[in-house]
Amino acid sequence: MASSNPTVLQFAPSSTSVSAKVHPLVIFNICDCFVRRPDQAERVIGTLLGSVLADGTVDVLNCYAVPHNESSDQVALDIDYHHNMLQSHLKVNPKEAIVGWFSTGFGVTGGSALIHEFYSREVPNPVHLTVDTGFTNGEASIKGFVSVSLSLGDQQLAAQFQEIPLDLHMVEAERVGYDILKTTTVDKLPNDLEGMEASMERLLTLIDDVYKYVDDVVEGRVAPDNNIGKFISDTVASIPKISPPAFDKLVNDSLQDQLLLLYLSSITRTQLSLAEKLNTAAQIL
């Protein structure tokens, strides 16, 4: 009886270990481009700039929007504009390179494969970043994807988008702004004290989580992890040992300096406004 080799449907090997780090400036730029988009445009498409770290992590540092026309079955990008913007960015940041592309909206759409094919010619294995500016699930969800080829034997049939881990690296001031940006409604923007209060509440929550983890390890409810233990030890060792009175004095002195800067900036704004009005009055007379 003759034997035949079965045709196997398989995915091309992809770097499942690929992950991405996104700077908050990228998210803010994408949201700003969406607000400034043409009236007839439903979404914004653009290029991601950054670098690939030694461990394979894609570090996304900057972006810019690319004009496009989109219909149900085709997408047309302004390639000349894309290349001109890229050259302009490279003059300022020559170490940055194309690492992928972004689009606004929830998840991947039908035309995403065509755009991803174009960026695959610009850079190998580009990252596709999506920002849900429509708040589909009640917040602006951010996701990252890479393309995986689906082949039947030696014939490539299609490409599938596979979600990858995404990490948002930001300082505390950027975190406050991002938390406001991703919510659907905002009564008012927080002032400095309210932002500091939110940061302190988040810090206390993290400290409680660390306390709970350490107690669970000591009681034997959780298996110890040397990497986590070393990270906690390094964090505690980095905190200077200051007595409570000295810490209170340090905080109060810093607060007084901040209030003095606010007062001086207010006086400067008032003086500039007064000088502008006097200049206008002098020109009229």
Q: Domain ends where: 151, 168, 185? A: 168
pLDDT band, residue 3 (cuts 50/70/90): very low
What residue numbers bound the domain in which 219 lies?
Answer: 204-239
In a shared domain, residues 218 and 264:
no
Q: Could you tell me if residue 138 is inside a domain?
A: yes
Q: Could you tell me if residue 60 is inside a domain?
A: yes
pLDDT tens digit string along 163-181? 888 888 777 667 766 666 6
pLDDT-wise least confident of 44-48, 81-85, 196-200, 224-228: 196-200
Burial label, 201 (beta-carbon count in 10 A; 0-12, 13-18, 19+)? exposed
In a shared domain, residues 47 and 67:
yes
In a shared domain, residues 235 and 245:
no
Amino acid identity, position 275: A
Q: Per-residue DSSP letters for 54-84?
A: TTS-EEEEEEEE--EEE-SS-EEE-HHHHHH
Q: Could you tell me if residue 216 is inside a domain?
A: yes
Cα(86)–Cα(65) distance, rounded to whole angstroms? 11
Q: Could you tell me if residue 189 is inside a domain?
A: no
Q: Per-residue pLDDT for 10 more than 70?
A: no
Q: Could you tell me if residue 8 is inside a domain?
A: no
Cα(259)–Cα(249) distance, rounded to whole angstroms? 15
Which tokens go with 178? 């991002």
Q: Under a CB-based contact definition with an 8 Å cutoff, are residues 45 and 98 in contact?
A: no
Domain count, the chain: 3
- Give the CA count within 13 Å in the CB-facing half-sphere of 139: 9
pLDDT tens digit string along 108-159? 777 788 888 888 888 888 888 888 877 666 666 788 888 877 666 666 666 6
Strands (E) located in the chain: 9-11, 20-22, 45-52, 58-65, 68-70, 75-77, 97-104, 127-131, 142-152, 155-164, 166-168
CATH number at residue 148: 3.40.140.10
Predicted pLDDT of residue 112: 80
Q: Domain ends where: 144, 168, 192? A: 168
The rounded mean pLDDT for the chain is 80
Q: Is 152 helix (H, G, I), strand (E, B) or coil?
A: strand
Predicted pLDDT of residue 162: 83
In a shared domain, residues 24 and 164:
yes
Q: Could you tell me if residue 3 is inside a domain?
A: no
Q: Could you tell me if residue 14 is inside a domain?
A: no
| Packed helices 192-219 and 226-238: angle between N→C axes, nearest 10 degrees | 130
In a shared domain, residues 47 and 93:
yes
In a shared domain, residues 120 and 234:
no
For 247-269, what is the mean pLDDT?
86
In a shared domain, residues 28 and 142:
yes
In a shared domain, residues 125 and 145:
yes
pLDDT tens digit string along 44-91? 889 999 988 888 888 888 899 888 887 766 778 888 998 999 999 888
Q: Could you tell me if residue 6 is inside a domain?
A: no
Predicted pLDDT of residue 4: 47
What values do phi and psi take at 164, rounded to 5? Answer: -120, 160
| Packed helices 192-219 and 172-181: angle between N→C axes, nearest 10 degrees | 100
In a shared domain, residues 105 and 45:
yes
Q: Domain ends where: 118, 152, 168? A: 168
Amino acid identity, position 18: V
Amino acid identity, position 202: R
In a shared domain, residues 160 and 278:
no
**Long-range CB contacts (< 8 A, 24+ apart) of 237-240?**
none
pLDDT-wise least confident of 40-54, 143-157, 214-228, 231-245: 143-157
In a shared domain, residues 28 and 128:
yes
pLDDT-wise least confident of 4-8, 74-78, 100-104: 4-8
